[in-house]
Amino acid sequence: MGITARGVGLLVAAVVLLGVGFRFAYPELTLLGAAAGAAVGYAALVAAWRPRLTVTRLADPDRVARGEPASMTLTVRNTGRLRSANLLAEDRCGEHTVPVPVLRLRPGRDTEVRYDVPTHRRGVVPVGPLRVTRRDPLGLVALARPYGAAVPVWVYPRVHPLTAVPTGAGRSLDGRVDGVPHGSITFDSLREYVVGDELRRVHWRTSARVGELMVRENVDTSLPRLIVLLDNRATAHPQRVGGVVESFESACEAAASIVTAAHRADLPVVLLFAAAKPAAPVTPGGELDANAALGPLDRLAAAELSSDDDAVRAATTRLRQDRLGDTLIFLTGPGGRGELGHVGALRGAYPSVVVGVFGAAEPTPPGAAGLVVVDAADGAQFAAEWDGVRRW
């Protein structure tokens, strides 16, 4: 509860009038002081009344790409039964506030407000809660309360279409994602015959020995796997224009484009951040492992820069030990070119290594053999340069 300047002045006047009236035996001043004090007390009681409001929100949609339109529909319903709600309300939308008309909202009635959510910047835009301010008729006391829960709107990086996807050195079983003339299958185990199994998969020698039909289980363990390592160090993206780090935004767009292209090609992909714990793998269908809480685009929307300067070296050490795939894609800014030596050293563990450098004033010097370097000013140029690479 907050008392306004008018309320403070009236309260001070009440104290002075009561003190002077009692001290010098002026009943008129005492009466005025008592009336002023009673007015402040009445204002506090009126402002303390809590209206019964129900707040519902509907984001349309709640996940958009940067620059795409998104709106929020807010419905405020007066669930009280005794009196109308004479209130002032405003809704929080990111860093801005939106006025909501709830003056003289009768019991059982509702009011609806629809407004646009700013999506010009990548990130998570919190919308809400609704802040309702209750004032007394004299304007002496004001009390603000929150109503409803906040709803996030996820603003994803822009996704640029990529026609080419690295397939690495692995072979695909059906030959859809590589140029290998013959596919390959790997024996995994034997199991009992089930009605419907193909007879050509029966392992007759084992079946004769155990006395039951046994069939071979084959798996394709050589499906190409992409590893996207996003450099989110502040030192890698030193240039900031208007509060926005454009090189990092472009790197996020490139990462989102690669992940989306991999999903469309039914290729498994892992999204990692240099200054973060290793993420769970993303399956071709877009689902995450049970240990991951967010999808890849959600994680890119919430990505922030880190002050850990040694993050890339630690990340390359983990990648060398784990060997998560056969194609590594490293996305960094102009300040991250000093780490290309550590990334190039992973050629022994990853047959194909691609580096994307964003926002650099000069072209990146040629790297080690087998290291593909793509210089780009933004995500759109990266997509064009990416599709122009002939070494996939």
Least confident range from 71-85, 161-175, 207-221: namely 161-175
Report the pLDDT value the prediction gives residue 84, as an integer from 0 to 100: 59
**Which residues neighbour 116 within 8 Å (Cβ) at sequence distance 6 or greater?**
69, 70, 71, 72
Q: Confidence class of residue 47 from pLDDT cuts 50, 70 and 90?
A: confident
pLDDT tens profile 259-300 = 999 998 888 899 999 987 544 444 433 333 333 457 899 999
Alpha-carbon span 30 to 27, nearest angstrom: 5
Bridge partners (DSSP) listed for residue 159: none
Contact 251, 350 (CB under 8 A): no
Q: What dotted CATH number matches 53-135+147-156?
A: 2.60.40.10
Q: What's the rounded mean pLDDT across residues 122-146?
A: 89
- CB-neighbour burial class of residue 28 (10 A; exposed 0-12, middle 13-18, buried 19+): exposed
Within 10 angstroms of residue 79's Cβ, the number of other Cβ atoms is 12
CA dihedral 376, 382, 384, 388 (to 10 degrees): 90
Q: Which helix (DSSP H) or strand (DSSP E) does residue 251 occupy?
A: helix 246-264
160, with CB counted inside 10 A (0-12, 13-18, 19+), is buried
- Using the CB atoms, write b or e for 94-105: b if 16+ within 10 Å: beeebebebeeb
Cα distances (Å, whole numbers) of residue 295 to 158, 172, 272, 273: 16, 26, 12, 14
Q: Which tokens hold the place of 232?
A: 């989110």
DSSP strands (E only) in 16-52: none
For the chain, give the mean pLDDT: 84
Range of weakest confidence among 27-31, 70-74, 96-100, 364-368: 364-368
Nearest partner of 219 among 242, 259, 189, judged by Cα: 189
Check if 53-135+147-156 and 226-388 are the same fold. no
Tell whether domain 226-388 is in CATH 3.40.50.410: yes
What's the pLDDT at 197? 87
Domain ranges in the chain? 2-48, 53-135+147-156, 186-219, 226-388
pTM score above 0.85: no
User: In this structure, which amino acid lies at residue 265?
Assistant: A
Angle subtended by helix axes 379-388 and 246-264, to nearest 10: 50
- 13: pLDDT strictly greater than 80: yes
Q: What is the pLDDT of residues 32-46, one digit of tens each?
A: 999 999 999 988 888
Side-chain half-sphere exposure of 340, counting CA atoms within 13 A: 24
Percent of the chain with pLDDT over 90: 45
**Distance from C-alpha of 34 to C-alpha of 31, rounded to nearest angstrom:** 5
Nearest CA to 111 among 89, 81, 128? 89
